[in-house]
Amino acid sequence: MTGEPKVWPPFLSQRIIRSSSQDDNQACPYLLSRKILGTGSYSAVFECKNTSNGAHYAAKQYAKRLFYGMESSLQSEFKILKRVSFGHKNILSLIDYFETEDHFYLVTDLALGGDLFERITSSCEGRLQPNEAREILLSVLSALAYLHSNQIIHRDVKAENILFKSRTAKPSHLLLADFGLAKIVKDSENGLLEHGGTLSYMAPECLSDAPYSYPVDMWAVGVLTYFMLCGYMPFDCDTDKETKQLISTADFIFEPIEYWESIPDPAKDFISQCFVLDADARITAVDALSHPFILNTPLKRSASNFSISQLQAAVWRLHSIQSLSSSTRLAQLSNGVSGHSSLSSRLSLNESSSSLIASSSSHRLLGDRCYSPELVSRFCTPLISAKVSPAHSQSNLKISPGPTLPKSNGGSSQSGSAEFFI
């Protein structure tokens, strides 16, 4: 199935409770778990349940106080998700959307199998077998080919943004997620100039003032492939300056030799074709699907007597550093725009007092003590980072039975004109 659905999934009519003073307002049909599935620079993800049909989804929550002045970013993510949802089996789909006084929510597919970073680092060798990496790449490349054919650059392809549908899911049963940095490239544009992403996966052209386009995603695929096959990054150094220097010159090596000799040559060639400095000569997603490494019959890793214990210890230390830094890197890159030293840290600190984030890990959606958010309105009201509507006053909030919900500070009233158009 391709293209946009003719009818966008609406709120279930039997769950709508209209407010006598505000026709746009209605009761939310979802129950949110207190357990956080993941966090980003400006958002947190919760499991949620449609109370009518029992279906489980993921609800990505955005704090409005952190998005003041950056509403266009959320608008862009919404527009792109709407454009690609239900168009490809390996791309996260948008199911629904709503807002409360303090937050925006995007309801998407639920993936409970963890991300690719976790799958790599938790494997017995700290890396994946070539056959498993090939199956993952087949799905990722297919998803990227679909995005690029729809004039979309993901710009943040990395292990943390590749989610598995379940813990027992096959390598190919994955979803490419997080379109917060994705951009639509118009035919009239020569490329993008706006920089963003995760440094370890950035292409050389993203570090310069030159325009860039779809090839940046394929450079990231090369980093991803290298990481899957050996368990460490090709360009990461002690400092960002050194890392940028290696990226800008495509200075990578397949070493130690004893560690890489068991990796099939087609896999190394595939990585090399992704790490071409000339973006125009870099392999495309479509061409990559026909590369021998991707099309090959199941590969057999050759035996190696090399002891990897010392290398493995260094790799695990690197994983810890990368895991810690990856969640804060975008916030650090955004300091000049947001005016905050660490928005991701601020989100965690501010949300710790919110009723949506509890310290207990026992409140799973399948159990008790789940609750509905406040009375919500459709995304037809202006997107502002303060009070959405007078109807969201405390007297109009309707909350299902449960613990008392402390109210977040909303900030001063602002006017805005950005809207989510359906």
Summarised one tens digit per residue, pLDDT across range 195-243 is 778 999 999 999 987 889 999 999 999 999 999 999 999 999 989 999 9
Three-class SS of residue 306? coil
Per residue in 274-311, pLDDT (tens digit) is 999 999 999 999 999 999 999 975 555 544 544 455 55
Per residue in 208-217, pLDDT (tens digit) is 878 899 999 9
279 phi/psi in degrees, rounded to 5: -60, -35
Q: Find the Cα–Cα–Cα–Cα dihedral 235, 237, 240, 241, rounded to 10°.
A: -90
80 phi/psi in degrees, rounded to 5: -70, -45
Helix H, strand E, coil C: the string for 334-368 is CHHHHCCCCHHHHHHHHHCCCCCCCCCCCCCCCCC
pLDDT band at 51 (very low <50, low <70, confident <90, very high): confident
Closest CA to 104 of 93, 91, 94: 94
Is 60 annotated to bind ligand? Answer: yes
- 396: burial class by Cβ within 10 Å (0-12, 13-18, 19+)? middle
**Percentage of residues of the chain with pLDDT beyond 70:** 63
pLDDT band at 320 (very low <50, low <70, confident <90, very high): low
Closest CA to 378 of 10, 24, 77: 24
- Residues 66 and 386 sit within 8 Å (Cβ to Cβ): no
**Interatomic CA distance for residues 136 and 173, integer angstroms:** 8
Question: Where in the chain are the domains?
Answer: 13-110+341-396, 116-337
Looking at the domain covering 13-110+341-396, what would its CATH class be? alpha beta
**Interatomic CA distance for residues 48 and 415, integer angstroms:** 31
Tell me if 13-110+341-396 shares its fold with 116-337. no
Per residue in 329-349, pLDDT (tens digit) is 434 433 433 333 333 333 333
Per residue in 85-115, pLDDT (tens digit) is 999 999 999 999 888 888 888 999 999 899 9
Three-class SS of residue 171? coil
Would you put residue 258 in left (φ > 0), alpha (ψ -120 to 50) or beta? alpha
In b/e form, how buried is each residue of 53-86, taking b as 16+ CB within 10 angstroms?
A: eeeebbbbbbbbbbbbeebebbbbbbebbbbbbb
Residue 10 pLDDT greater than 50, yes or no: no
**Mean of per-residue pLDDT scores for the chain:** 72
Closest CA to 75 of 180, 161, 157, 178: 180
Tell me the fold of 116-337: Transferase(Phosphotransferase); domain 1 (1.10.510)
The residue with greater pLDDT, 187 or 252, is 252
State yes or no: cis peptide before 256, omega within 30 of 0: yes
- Residue 319 token pair: 């994983």
The active-site residue, picked from 156, 178, 217, 236, is 156
For β-strands 30-39 and 56-63, DSSP reports them as unpaired
**In whole angstroms, what separates CA 377 from the centre of its chain?**
25
Residue 156 catalytic? yes
pLDDT band at 156 (very low <50, low <70, confident <90, very high): very high
